[in-house]
Every structure is written in C-alpha cells, then in structure tokens.
Homo-oligomer: A and B are copies of this chain.
Amino acid sequence: MFWSKAFIPTLKEAPQEAESLSHKLMLRAGLIRMLISGVYIYLPLGLKVLNNVERIIREEMDASGAQELLLPALQPLELWQKTERDSLMGEVMIRFVDRKGRKLCLGPTHEEVITFLAKTHINSYKQLPLVLYQIQTKFRDEIRPRFGLVRSCEFIMKDAYSFDKDEKGLDKNYQKMYNAYKRIFKRCGLNFYVVSADPGVMGGDVSHEFMVPAESGEDKVLYCKNCKYVEAFRQESIQLSCPKCAHNLDKINTLEVGHIFKLRTKYSLSLGAQFLDKDGIQKPLIMGCYGIGVSRIIPAIIEQNHDAEGIIWPKEISPYKVIIIPLNIYERKVMEIAKYIYESLINLGIEVILDDRDEQAGVKFKDADLIGIYLKVVIGKEFLSKGNLELSLRKDKKIIKVKKEAILNRIKKLLYE
C-alpha cells in the first residue's frame, strides 16, 4: 500500500469523547471512528489489526481440534424462555417483534442456539467429543458504553462450545481451551492473569477469567508479588494479605479478555439435548463454553504496548509489518530503492506500506510512531552519501545501518527470527 492512496486518517489530537489511553490512540492512529456512542467503524488499519487478532485465534482454536461455524445474530426469544435466561438477561438484550409477530432478540451470546443445533445433530456417544466455535458480532443495549471498543453495544466475540459424554471429557476439553487461550493471549503480546471466577448468568460451577492489567480496566485482581498468587477482587475481599504466603496483595486494574465455563448440563437439560451412551441409555450432553472478547483485545494490547509517541504493535498484530519512509520523494534514486524494497517484500508475502506522501520528515516519523508499525526502513541522506539504509524496530528504535544488498535478509531475519 502507498500511504498517499491509503485511507488512514490520523489525528493530532484525540476527540473529546475519548477517555482512556487506548481509546485516544485508536482514534488518533485512524483505527476506528465513532458512529454513535458505543458503536464504532473499523477503518482499514483497524480492520487489519482485527484480522490479525482473529487469525491468531483461528489458528489456535483449529490446532486444538475445534471446528468453526457461524451462528446467526437473530434468535427466537422462545429459546431464551426455555433456559429461563430471558428474564435473567434483563434490558441488556435487544429484543423486538418482527412483521410476522415473531419475538426475536439479537444474541448477546449463543448457548441456546448451539444447544438447539446439538439437539438436532448429536445423537450418539460416537459423535463425541465435539468442539464448535464461531467469531461473530454480538449486540448489547449497554447503558454506559465506555473506552471505545472496551465496552460497546456492537462487538466481536469468539465463542466456543464443547460437547462431551462425561465429566472426564469436559475436563479434558476445558484444559485444552485453557491452554489454547494462554497461547492466544501470549501471541497477542499480552501479559495476563488467570483467576477463578463467578460463572454468573452463564451458569455452571467452575469458570476462569483471563485478565489483562490495564489502567482503564474496571475489573480488579489481587496479586502477590512474592509468590505470584492471584485471585479476583470481590466486594467481600476484606482479607488483603496473601492466603499462601501472607505477603501484602496488590490490587490491580484489569480488563477481562477471556472467560471459560464448565456449563455441565444446564443447557442440555433445559433444551433437551440428549445422546445415547454406550449402554443405550439417554443422557444429557455435558457442555462447556469458552469466550474471547475479540474486539476488546485490541485496546488491551494498546494499553500494554505503547509509549508517548503512539502504539507499539507486537509483531503478529502489526497491521503492516514494515513501513518504508523515503525522506526525499523527489530524489529519483531514493524512490527507486524504496520501490525496490517495497516490491521485494510484497513478493515475499510481507505486508508493507510505503510512505510516499509529500510531507516533512517529522510528519512521517510522527505518523509511523503513532500507528506503531513493527519495523521501519528509512531512506535518508546517508543513503545518497554512503549507501546506508536505516532499519529500526518500533519497540526499541535502535537504528541499524544496512547496505542495499543486505536489506532484505536483514528484514527477514528481524521478522522471522
């Protein structure tokens, strides 16, 4: 992509609506725009970041044996009445009656629909275990949307559902998902805590939350620096020393990015999803569910990866891996080498943006730092005088001087090593 043709509307100042650091940076870097409070447009750069997050999730879910499908946003309210969650969800669930008089809702989650599907198609223990997942848009009538993509009315979730014939199978799938989640958040460049949690409206008895330390996070965890013990902070948490080593506990603001649940038979019983076991006996399916706040991961990454100049994308998340900045676009030799590197990287399958705008060096450097591209190649004065190109990683900004002949190998090494 040539920057002069790209739709990347960066801003010098964040709009007033922005409250948190990540929200400000997402607006300034041209990742998102607000349509109305709680409802956002993903601009091209933001969509690339979202796609990178989704790719990591898909790779790890597929590797764990889960199969992707796609469930509809429109759901019949009747299913929610059967599980008694219609009233539990309260006003946060968007409902309406269609022209034919059908009572519908926009799914804030999909336990009911997936259990309906399982009831139709899982009949025998031979079809188990089965894990299905989707990456899909969810809706909530959020009374107080905040922090951009952190708490919004329309957002993207990954939700997975496991079906097993017994508790042992559920334990195994739960552990598989737990491990997949750790790999996903690590690849996203996140530090995180895992804490036991209250299953809440999901039901079931065991659940774990994946919490990312972030200044604007509204959930809190208690953490022991001494022995690494961690637990969710609750109103009842009056005892504030570590139960393991009696050291002081730190209260840390965090963002919830994942939550996994052992649902057991809550949904299969209320919706009648049964299977025949080895002995020919009808039993309810044993279920688990596993959620990731896909769009919320983006602000979580930014909260943990930024400096005063802007975003510092982790390698796998960076919307372009390389940015090429020719300082004098009117110098033929400068643009020749810029385009040579650009085309070579495209041929190698490496996403690259060439800043061909007629702008001052300062503007180009500021924008590159703001949008946080992983690796920068500058073609400046030293190229004409000494043949040197300047490579630097966004995260440390140390400049590596490289000759033209060595540039591609050096870039490959920095991206793949």
Contacts and interface: CB of A to CB of B under 8 A. Distances in A.
Contact of A69 (B36, B44, B116): B44
Interface string A281-314: 0000000000000000000000000000000000
Given A6-B67, A94-B98, A74 B139 contact: yes
A20 interface: no
Contact of A35 (B39, B76, B139): B76
B44 A76 contact: no
Given A35-B72, A50-B70, A153-B74, A98 B137 contact: no
Contact of A74 (B39, B46, B50, B102): B39
Contacts of A72: 35, 39-41, 154
A73 interface: yes
A278 interface: no
A68 interface: yes
B68 A35 contact: no
Interface residues of A, number: 49
Interface in A215-236: none
A141 interface: yes
Contacts of A71: 35, 41-42
- Stoichiometry (number of copies): 2
Contacts of A100: 143
Contact of A41 (B36, B69, B137): B69
A9 interface: yes
A347 to B, nearest CB: 16
A67 B41 CA distance: 14
A68 B47 contact: yes
A54 to B, nearest CB: 11
A211 B131 CA distance: 39
A99 interface: yes
Interface string A91-123: 100111011101000100000010011001100
5 contacts: A35-B76, A44-B67, A73-B139, A74-B139, A74-B153
Interface of A: 5-7, 9, 33, 35-36, 39-44, 46-47, 50, 65, 67-76, 91, 94-96, 98-100, 102, 106, 113, 116-117, 120-121, 130, 132, 137, 139, 141, 143, 153-154
